[in-house]
Amino acid sequence: MKLLKLFMKKEEGGEKPASSGHYLTGKEARAIAKANNKEMRRLEQAKRRKLPVSAYTTEMKDNGNILEIEDLHSYFFTDQGVVKAVNGVSFEVPMNSTVGVVGESGCGKSVTSMSVMRLLQGPSGQIVSGSIRFKALDYKRDEKGKYIPVYQRDEKGEIVYEPVLDKSGKPRTDKYGNPVTRPVQVRDENGIGVYEKEEHVFDIAKMPINEMYRLRGRQMSMVFQEPMTSLNPVFTIGNQLDEVTLIHVPDATREFAKKRSIEMLNLVGIAMPERVYASFPHELSGGMRQRVMIAMALACEPRLIIADEPTTALDVTIQAQILNLFNELKRKINGSILLITHDLGVIAEMADYVVVMYAGKIIERGTASEIFHNPCHPYTQGLQKSKPTMNSTVDQLFNIPGNVPNPINMPDYCYFKERCSRCIAKCSGEYPKMTRISPTHYVACHLYDDREWRG
C-alpha cells in the first residue's frame, strides 16, 4: 500500500515522468484511452451514417483498373497507442491481372486486404483516411431501391406482356372485364430472372458499412489463409456454399443454388462433388477445405478475388495444384487476383505485378520481371538474396539483420535505416518519397531520388 501511494504521488505530482521506454504511466495510458475513444467513436459513427449513393460513387483514375488504392491509412487504436498498420499505401490492380503483395510478417498485407473488404475489426481497427476505388458491375435500382428486371421485347422493341392466371389457371380479369397482364421477364438457362446491371465505381473507404453487401461475395471475395477457421463446423459444405448463391443471386431457388454449388466444386477440381457437398468441414482434408473456400469465393463469379496466403497451410504438391487452379480460374471468369503472400516463389509463379511492403508502407512496386530481375530497394534485394535457389550451394542462407521498428513509434526517417547496408547521409533526413524509375517501376529509397524516369 505504501509503495502504491508512493507511485501515485510521483505520478500525480509530476516530479518526473514515470514513463521510460515501453512503459506507460497511468496518466499517459489514460490520455491514450481518451484520445482513442474519441477517434474510435467518430470513425464508428461515420461507418454507420446513412449516405446517398452519390457520396461514395466516384471515377477510376485509369479505366483499365478494377481496384485503385490511394494513400490508404488503416490504424488500430490500442491501449499502448496507435498502430499504423497501413500507413499511406497506394497501388492499383489492373483488370484481368494478378497483383502480388509481399513483405515480412506484420508489414500490413492482411490489414490492406481486410481494408478492401471492410472487414477490419472495429472499434479498434479503422480505415482512417484514403480511397479504395472499385469498379463494380452492380444491379441497377429504381427510385424505391428495387432491382430493375430485363423484359422480353418483340421485333418492334415493345415490351412483351403475358396474361396473369388465377389459382385455377384461368386468365384473370379486372373489374371491367379486361384481362390482367404483366411484362415478361427475361430468364437465363436455369430459369432465373435477369435484372439490369450497370457499372459503378465505389469508394469503399467512404461506403457505409451496411452497403458493403453489394460488393462482398458478389463483386469481390476473399480466400482466407486458414480454411478450418473460415468454414462453419456445424453446417455442411453444401449449406455454406448454397447460402452464397441464395443471398447474392436475386430469385435464386434452392435447386438452382445446389446445382451451382456442385458446378463450383467441380470447377475447383473436387472429384466427388456430391459427396463433398453433403460433408461437414472436419470430414475433408486441408487441401479439399481450401478448394471449398475457393469454390465459395467463386460462387458469384466475382471480378476481384483477394487471396490472403491461400497456400501457406498446404503442402507443396497441393500448393502447386491450388496455384494452377487460380491461374485457370482467372482466365475462365476473366477476373483479377490480389494475391497476398510472404513466399516469393508463389509470387514468381503467379503475379503480373508485385507490390513490396515494409512496416505499413510500400517500398517498391513494379512488374514481376522488374522486381525479380532488377530489384532496387535494399529490402527487396535482401528478400531476393534470402530466397533459396536450386543452382547455388551455400552453407547459410542470407538473412536481413535486425527487426522492423516498433509500429507505435515509427521514426521520421526511412523505416529500413537500422537494417540497411547501403545507408547514406540523406537517410537520416525525411522519409524517402516514391520515385518512378520506369513507366511501371517505383521505389521509395534515397539512392534513387535523382533517377526519376522522365519518359
Question: Strand 220-223 vs strand 197-203: parallel, antiparallel, or unpaired?
Answer: unpaired
Of 164, 223, 206, residue with least CA distance to 49 = 206
75, 77, 202, 416: which one contacts ligand SF4 (CB under 6 A)? 416
Cβ 43 to ligand ATP, closest distance in Å?
15
CB-nearer residue toward Mg ion: 106 or 269: 106
- Give yes or no for a contact between 223 and 308, defined as CB atoms under 8 angstroms apart: yes
Distances (CA, A) of 142 to 49, 95, 148, 283: 22, 29, 6, 45
Q: Is it true that the peptide bond before 94 is cis, omega within 30 degrees of 0? A: no
120, 356, 414, 437: which one contacts ligand SF4 (CB under 6 A)? 414
360 touches ligand SF4 (CB under 6 A): no
Cβ 54 to ligand ATP, closest distance in Å?
32
417, 434, 436, 438: which one contacts ligand SF4 (CB under 6 A)? 417
Residues facing residue 135 across a β-bridge = 201
Task: Label residues 324-353 b or e (16+ Cβ within 10 Å = b).
Answer: ebbeebbeebebbbbbbbbbbebbebbbbb
CB-nearer residue toward ligand ATP: 110 or 367: 110
Tell me which of Mg ion, ligand ATP, ligand SF4, none is bound by residue 111, counting a contact when its beta carbon lies within the kind-specific cut-off of 5 to 8 angstroms.
ligand ATP
* Cell output for 284: 475433408
Which of positions 365-394 make contact with ligand SF4 (CB under 6 A)? Answer: 377-378
Task: With contacts defined by CB under 6 A, name the span among 160-168, 207-215, 394-402, 416-424 that binds ligand SF4.
Answer: 416-424
Cβ 414 to ligand SF4, closest distance in Å?
3
SS3 at position 98: strand
Which of positions 381-410 make contact with ligand ATP (CB under 6 A)? Answer: 407
282 DSSP assignment: G
Tell me which of ligand SF4, ligand ATP, Mg ion, none is bound by residue 78, counting a contact when its beta carbon lies within the kind-specific cut-off of 5 to 8 angstroms.
ligand ATP
Neighbouring residues of 7: CB distance < 8 A, sequence distance ≥ 6: 18
442 touches ligand SF4 (CB under 6 A): no
98, 110, 115, 319: which one contacts Mg ion (CB under 5 A)? 110
149 touches ligand ATP (CB under 6 A): no
Contacts to Mg ion by CB under 5 A = 110
